[in-house]
């Protein structure tokens, strides 16, 4: 029975996300009342085909976007990212000061140890579920 289920999930050309490894998914604990949170993680492509991350959603937030922080004239700015290509063997890091998943308007207050559900959407139709842990993090260098 298990075999049958796996076969159904991993139809060729559709939605088999077994070639992705998600490490250290985390949502840094934000002060109460802050309506924008970030999610960080590392996504590794352990398969042999290019993967294209095209979106993200979360049932725990009104909106979720992929953002890139860039510094321009000493001011940090964020812009939306429509496509992240992850080549076979490549690891893409979402972290402070760079790529991040922007989470807007949490539907409930979050406490340390809570979890946030994320769905990473890929161009081939695959959806990778991720459970990020709410943790107290300290920024380095700021
Ligand atoms: Cu952002």
CB 111 within 8 A of CB 134: yes
Ligand 1 centroid to residue 78 C-alpha, Å: 5
Ligand 1 centroid to residue 6 C-alpha, Å: 36
In a domain, 77, yes or no: yes
In a domain, 142, yes or no: no
In a domain, 6, yes or no: yes
Ligand 1 centroid to residue 53 C-alpha, Å: 16
In a domain, 12, yes or no: yes
Could you tell me the mean pLDDT of each successive run of 10 residues in the chain, 142 residues long? 48 60 96 94 96 97 96 90 97 96 96 97 95 86 44
**pLDDT value, residue 139:** 66
Extract the tokens encoding 109.
């207050």
In a domain, 131, yes or no: yes
Ligand 1 centroid to residue 102 C-alpha, Å: 5
In a domain, 117, yes or no: yes
**pLDDT value, residue 71:** 86
Residues 69, 77, 113, 56, Cα dihedral to 10° = -60
Compute the distance between CA of residue 110 and CA of residue 17 in angstroms, rounded to an integer.
28
> How many of the other CB atoms lie within 10 Å of CB of 25?
20
Ligand 1 centroid to residue 76 C-alpha, Å: 10
Whose tokens are 């992240």? That residue is 84
In a domain, 141, yes or no: no
**pLDDT value, residue 76:** 86
In a domain, 140, yes or no: no
Total count of domains within the chain: 1
pTM for this entry: 0.84
Q: Domain range holding 100?
A: 2-135
- CATH at residue 15: 2.60.40.1890
């Amino acid at each position: 029975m298990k075999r049958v289920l796996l076969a159904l999930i991993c139809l060729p050309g559709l939605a088999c996300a077994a070639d992705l490894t998600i490490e250290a998914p985390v949502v840094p604990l934000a002060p109460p009342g802050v309506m924008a949170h970030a999610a960080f993680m590392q996504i590794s492509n352990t398969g042999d085909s290019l993967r294209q991350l095209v979106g993200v959603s979360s049932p725990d937030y009104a909106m979720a976007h992929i953002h890139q922080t860039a510094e321009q004239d000493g001011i940090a700015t964020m812009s939306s990212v429509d496509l992240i290509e992850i080549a076979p063997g490549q690891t893409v890091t979402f972290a402070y000061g760079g790529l991040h998943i922007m989470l807007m308007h949490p539907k409930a207050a979050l406490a340390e140890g809570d979890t946030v559900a994320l769905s990473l959407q890929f161009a081939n139709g695959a959806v990778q579920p991720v459970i990020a842990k709410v943790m107290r993090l300290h920024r380095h260098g700021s």
